[in-house]
Amino acid sequence: MGRAPCCEKVGIKRGRWTAEEDQILSSYIQSNGEGSWRSLPKNAGLKRCGKSCRLRWVNYLRSDLRRGNITPEEEELVVKMHSTLGNRWSLIASHLPGRTDNEIKNYWNSHLSRKLHYIRKSHNVPAVTMNPPPTSQRLPEKRRPGRTSRSAMKPKTHKQKTRKTKKTSAQPEPDANVAINAVVGQEALMMELSGAEADLGPRDDYYYGACHERGDCCNTNNNNNNNLMSINGDNGVLSFDEHDIIDLLLDESDPGNVFTSSVGDGELSPLGDSTLARGSSETSNLGYLDCLQPCRSVESFLNYEHQVNDALTDEFIDWECVWQEGNKSNKLCDEKEASDPVMSWLLNGDDEATIGQTNCEKFGEPLDHDEENALVAWLLS
DNA sequence: AAGAGGTTCAACCGCACAGAC
DNA sequence: CGTCTGTGCGGTTGAACCTCT
């Protein structure tokens, strides 16, 4: 049998809280403190579930909550942290004073994913479908010890919730709950922002390389090495290799060169020269992605919907801002030069000779609490 | 003005972990 | 050790609100 419900279902009021209930709850917590949520409703004289009381307090009644719109700075921080941490809303929110995980989560789902959807739609680009590698090769969710993130939980195969079909366009991305996929999704976004996809012509196995050194890429599995992502077959499905994404994160090239392109025989050359025309006909050479250019600022991404009418000639997000914080040394693949302690940890490998492999493997390992805190501190630095 | 459709966000749900027993 | 309880997390829902026609 399943576990007992957190509270009696009968006689429990649900739905919106009234001002009177808020007052009762606030008064009770102020005089008795937080905690003991299960017994709180009874003691306080509320006909509410303990969890509901806790949620109301945490998300609404707490005195230290910050009201008002998310500021651009907060937005940028959310994007930055989400690109690294994934849907770790509570962790993200904990570094935004006065903001709750619910608030951040809602903001992400309503604002930022909508922008992503809008961009894709405006380019008439097929939905990006993640094609994750086998589980054994998948980058695990960064996690702290203890509580397991929902995204790391087993798939819900036992009871698929019947969902009311909503007409909203703000549906979350298919795999948005995996940290690396958040990065991948943003990669796709960036591609779309760049207009690259629209210029690819018939989709037939384009490869966007990410690694700079031939043959030493982390992945040794599906597809060829050095493939960051590919568009397969007739369905226009993009598939990604997380290890190459990590390589991208660790790219030691010029920070401006976010993307590299495969120039025959697996040879890679940096892209991102802003002198390259984006979306021009010359960019449609089959198999080569020559039209990507670096983006300049997170703000420009966040303001994309205000710019979309400008024929896509504006500059977009500078993903260095998102993931190259630690790349300031421009030598992240070189452990010797990764003086930043967090980056040293990220790149930690006992055998420096195999760092190219080791760093990617370390990326996949779970974080302990200290490591995670260090990562967050580094992100915020 | 009114209805339809879209968006926001408070609240709920189920699940998993920690700790007590 | 296993079980139970308390708690926190992330995903999801749906009423309220907003915008468009």
pLDDT attached to residue A138: 36
**A167 CA vs B4 C1’ separation (Å):** 12
User: The tokens of A131 are what?
Assistant: 């094609």
More confident residue, A25 or A200: A25
Kindly state whether residues A184 and A291 are assigned to the same domain.
yes
Q: Which nucleotides of C are covered by protein (CB under 7 A)?
A: 4-16
Classify residue A379: in a domain, yes or no. Answer: yes
Average confidence score pLDDT of chain A: 50
- Residue A161 Cβ under 7 A from any strand C atom: yes
Classify residue A338: in a domain, yes or no. Answer: yes
Classify residue A155: in a domain, yes or no. Answer: no
Does residue A239 sit in helix, strand or coil?
strand
Kindly state whether residues A315 and A194 are assigned to the same domain.
yes
**A166 CA vs C13 C1’ separation (Å):** 10
Kindly state whether residues A263 and A277 are assigned to the same domain.
yes
Classify residue A151: in a domain, yes or no. Answer: no
Kindly state whether residues A220 and A332 are assigned to the same domain.
no
What is the spatial distance between Cα A253 and Cα A54, in angstroms, rounded to a whole number? 48
pLDDT attached to residue A107: 85
Classify residue A300: in a domain, yes or no. Answer: yes
Kindly state whether residues A224 and A352 are assigned to the same domain.
no
More confident residue, A32 or A171: A32
Q: Taking 60 as the threshold, does the pLDDT of residue A285 lie above it?
A: no
**A160 CA vs C13 C1’ separation (Å):** 14
What is the spatial distance between Cα A373 and Cα A370, in angstroms, rounded to a whole number? 5
Q: Give the pairing of strands A260-262 and A268-270.
A: antiparallel
Kindly state whether residues A298 and A336 are assigned to the same domain.
no
More confident residue, A372 or A197: A372
Residue A217's Cα: distance from chain center in Å?
23
Helix axes A72-85, A179-194, angle to 10 degrees: 120
Q: What whole-number percentage of chain A has pLDDT above 90?
A: 0
Kindly state whether residues A228 and A315 are assigned to the same domain.
yes
Kindly state whether residues A195 and A299 are assigned to the same domain.
yes
Q: Taking 60 as the threshold, does the pLDDT of residue A12 lie above it?
A: yes
Stretch A113-134: mean pLDDT, rounded?
49
Nearest nucleotide over every DNA/RNA strand to the A148 CA, judged by C1': B16
φ, ψ of residue A185 in degrees (nearest 5) = -60, -35
Q: Taking 70 as the threshold, does the pLDDT of residue A125 lie above it?
A: no
**A85 CA vs B17 C1’ separation (Å):** 20
Stretch A98-121: mean pLDDT, rounded?
73
- Residue A228 Cβ under 7 A from any strand C atom: no
Q: In the 82-121 stretch of chain A, whose C-beta falls under 7 Å of nucleic acid strand C?
A: 87-91, 101-102, 105-106, 109
Task: Please compute, for residue A182, the number of CA atoms within 13 A of its CA located in the half-sphere on the CB side.
Answer: 25
CATH number for the domain that contains residue A54: 1.10.10
Kindly state whether residues A228 and A336 are assigned to the same domain.
no
Stretch A134-149: mean pLDDT, rounded?
33
- Residue A171 Cβ under 7 A from any strand C atom: no
More confident residue, A302 or A35: A35
Kindly state whether residues A46 and A193 are assigned to the same domain.
no
Q: Which amino acid is at A154?
A: K
φ, ψ of residue A380 in degrees (nearest 5) = -80, -10
Kindly state whether residues A197 and A296 are assigned to the same domain.
yes
Classify residue A182: in a domain, yes or no. Answer: yes
Q: Give the pairing of strands A229-232 and A237-240.
A: antiparallel
Kindly state whether residues A311 and A233 are assigned to the same domain.
yes
Q: Of A320, A350, A369, which residue constitutes the final position of a domain?
A: A320
Classify residue A111: in a domain, yes or no. Answer: no
Buried/exposed code over A329-349 (b: 16+ C-beta within 10 A; e: otherwise): eebbbbbeebebebbebbbbb
pLDDT attached to residue A11: 74
Q: Which amino acid is at A183?
A: V
Classify residue A286: in a domain, yes or no. Answer: yes
**A35 CA vs C5 C1’ separation (Å):** 13
Stretch A241-268: mean pLDDT, rounded?
34
What is the spatial distance between Cα A278 and Cα A286, in angstroms, rounded to a whole number? 15
Q: Taking 50 as the threshold, does the pLDDT of residue A204 lie above it?
A: no
Region label for A297, one of left (φ > 0), alpha (ψ between -120 and 50) or beta (otherwise): beta
Could you tell me the pLDDT band of residue A55, with boundaries at 50, 70 and 90? confident
Provide the domain count of chain A. 3
**A27 CA vs C21 C1’ separation (Å):** 47
**Helices (H) and strands (E) in chain A — how many of each?**
15, 5
Stretch A2-6: mean pLDDT, rounded?
44
Q: What whole-number percentage of chain A has pLDDT above 70?
A: 27
**A53 CA vs C2 C1’ separation (Å):** 31
Q: Which domain holds residue A376?
A: 324-381
Stretch A34-49: mean pLDDT, rounded?
82
Q: Of A320, A336, A361, which residue constitutes the final position of a domain?
A: A320
What is the spatial distance between Cα A209 and Cα A229, in angstroms, rounded to a whole number? 7
R_g of chain A, CA atoms, integer Å: 23
